[in-house]
Amino acid sequence: MTVYERVEAMLTKAFGVEPGAVSREATFDQMDLDSLAQVEFSEVLSESFGFELDADKFFELENLGELIDLLEAQAATV
């Protein structure tokens, strides 16, 4: 399973995001994730991927594609 597929599954199953709303270009606002949901999402991601996401970097991300790129880069260094 790719990083994108893992993240997509988390968003749709744990956060109730409609599958059609998930794309690399989608922003967290477009997926109806408010700031609290984003914090929870970052914690779920950290637990699932086994490394701590930098909170400052996470909240600077403009869309899901940037998150996927960040996760892939961090996973390559672990």
Alpha helices in 15-63 (DSSP H): 35-49, 55-60
Evaluate if residue 4 carries a pLDDT over 70: yes
Give the per-residue pLDDT at 75. Answer: 81
What's the gap between Cα 70 and its chain centre?
9
Distance of alpha carbon 74 from alpha carbon 49, whole angstroms: 9
CATH of domain 3-77: 1.10.1200.10
Question: At 15, is the pLDDT very low, low, confident or very high (cuts 50, 70, 90)?
Answer: very high
Q: Kindly state the tokens that stand for 59.
A: 């909240």
Question: At 53, is the pLDDT very low, low, confident or very high (cuts 50, 70, 90)?
Answer: confident
- pLDDT tens for residues 22-45? 999 999 999 999 999 999 999 999
The residues spanned by each domain of the chain are 3-77
Give the per-residue pLDDT at 9. Answer: 96
pTM across the whole model: 0.89
